[in-house]
Amino acid sequence: MACVAAAGLAMSLIVYVVMRYVPNYPLTAANPSDAGLPIASRGEILDAVVRACGIALVVLTAVGACGGWILAGRVLRPLTDLNSAAQAAAAGDLSHRISAHPRRGRGDEFTDLAGTFDTMLERLERSFAAQQRFAANASHELRTPLAVTQAMLDVAREDPEAVDLPRLLARLDGTNRRATDLVAALLQLAALDRAPVAHVPVDLDVVVEDVVDDVAREATERGVRVAVETAPAVVPGDEVLLARVVDNLLRNAIRHNLPHGGWVSIRLEDREAVVLTVENSGRPLTDDALRIALEPFARQVGPLAHGRTDAAPDRSSNGLGLAIVSRVVEVHGGRLDLTARPGGGALVRVELPRVAASTRSHASGT
C-alpha cells in the first residue's frame, strides 16, 4: 500500500512540475471553427490536473490498501499454518500436519516449505514413537528376569527344605544370563550412537565362513540345510561388528524356518558394492512384519511368529538382534533390505561399500 501511494504521489508531482513550467503563452483553439468558444487558461488547466491527480492518488491508495491486505493474507496464511504446526510440535503434539489446511493449488515456495515441514514432523513422530516403545519394552524386559529371580528366591526362602538346589541354581543362572545379555545388547546398541566405528579393511568372505562354521551345530540340530556361496570381498569397517551382523542374520534365518526340511542360502558378491544376501525358507510373512522386526524388542509383538518352528517364544533372543544389525549396517555406510519371499520365509540383503583395489594392495603389503 505504501509503495502504491508513493508511486501515485511521485507521478502526481511529476505531472504538476511538467504543467507548472509549461511556457506561459496564450492558448488558441486548434480548429479555427472553434475560435469563439471559451479556452481554459493555463492556471485552470493546472488546477484541473492537480484535482485529477489528487483523486487518482486517493483511489490508488484505497485500491492498494485493499489489494495489499488481500495479498498479504494469502501470502502469510501458509506462514500462519507453519507457526501453528511449530507451536503444536513444541507443545508435544507431533501429529499436526500443515497439509491438512487448504492452500493454493499451484505449487510455490511456501507449498514446498510446508511439505518439507510435514515430512520432518512425520519423521520426528516416528522416531519419538519408536523411542517410547523401546523404553517401555526395555523396562519390561529388564523387569521380567528380576521378577522371576525374586519369585524363585521367595519360594526357596519360605520352604528351604523342599528346594531342589541344583535346579534352582540352574534356573537362577539362566535368568541372570538373560538379563546380562540384554544389558550387554542395550549397551552395544547405545555405543553405536556414541563412538565412531573403526574403518579398516575386513575380509568379509572370511568372516562369513567363520560364522557359518559357528552356527553349523545349531543348523544341524534344527534340521536346516545351509548353502554358502562366497567370493573374495573386502569392506571397510569393524570386524567384530560385521561378524555380529552375519551371525544375527544367519541365526535368525535358521531359527525362523520350517519345522522340517528347511534351508538357508547365504551368498556374498563383490560388485560395485559388496552384497551379502541371506535367504531362508519358512512360513508366509509380510513386508510389514519384517519392517517391524527391525525395531528393538520386536520379539515382544511377534512379527516373526508365523515363521517360527514352535509356538513358544524364543527366550534365547532378546529382541535386539535385527535392531543392532540395522544400526551396524547404517554406521558402516551400508543399506539393509528385508523382503518376504513369495513361497515363505524372508530375503535379507545387506549392501556395504567396498575397499578399492589400490587400498587392498596397500593393506596387504603392510
Q: What is the DSSP string of 8-65?
A: HHHHHHHHHHHHHTS-------SSGGGTTS----HHHHHHHHHHHHHHHHHHHHHHHH
**C-alpha cell recorded at residue 295:** 525395531
Q: Measure CA 154 to chain center.
A: 46
Q: With beta carbons less than 8 A apart as the criterion, state whether 219 and 226 touch.
A: yes
- Judged against a pLDDT cut of 80, whether residue 328 lies above it is answered with yes
- Of 222 and 56, which is predicted with more confidence? 222
User: Mean pLDDT, to the nearest integer, of 159-181?
Assistant: 82
Confidence of residue 8 (pLDDT cuts 50, 70, 90): low
- Judged against a pLDDT cut of 70, whether residue 336 lies above it is answered with yes
User: Mean pLDDT, to the nearest integer, of 46-62?
Assistant: 76
Topology of domain 131-194, CATH: Helix Hairpins (1.10.287)
- Of 45 and 304, which is predicted with more confidence? 45
**C-alpha cell recorded at residue 73:** 493474507
- Residue in 251, 303, 300, 306 with CA at minimum distance from that of residue 282: 306
- Judged against a pLDDT cut of 60, whether residue 191 lies above it is answered with yes
- Judged against a pLDDT cut of 60, whether residue 74 lies above it is answered with yes
- Judged against a pLDDT cut of 70, whether residue 29 lies above it is answered with no
- Judged against a pLDDT cut of 90, whether residue 67 lies above it is answered with no
- Of 36 and 104, which is predicted with more confidence? 36
- Of 223 and 49, which is predicted with more confidence? 223
* Count of residues in the chain: 366
Provide the pLDDT for residue 250: 93
- Residue in 223, 227, 228, 226 with CA at minimum distance from that of residue 261: 223
User: Mean pLDDT, to the nearest integer, of 113-128?
Assistant: 81
Q: Where are the alpha helices (DSSP H) in the chain?
A: 2-20, 42-90, 109-158, 165-194, 204-221, 239-255, 287-293, 321-331, 357-365
User: Mean pLDDT, to the nearest integer, of 16-24?
Assistant: 61
Provide the pLDDT for residue 160: 83
- Judged against a pLDDT cut of 80, whether residue 342 lies above it is answered with yes
Of the listed ranges 114-123, 225-234, 256-265, 291-300, the one predicted with least confidence: 291-300
CA dist., res. 80 & res. 16, Å (int): 44
Topology of domain 200-363, CATH: Heat Shock Protein 90 (3.30.565)
CA dist., res. 104 & res. 111, Å (int): 8
Is pTM, for the whole model, over 0.85? no
CA dist., res. 281 & res. 116, Å (int): 41
**C-alpha cell recorded at residue 289:** 512384519
CA dist., res. 58 & res. 220, Å (int): 94
Highest mean pLDDT among 61-75, 154-168, 182-196, 307-321: 154-168
User: Mean pLDDT, to the nearest integer, of 123-130?
Assistant: 77
Provide the pLDDT for residue 325: 84
Q: pLDDT tens-digit profile of 288-309?
A: 777 776 666 655 434 444 444 4
CA dist., res. 148 & res. 191, Å (int): 28
Q: What percent of the chain has pLDDT over 70?
A: 67
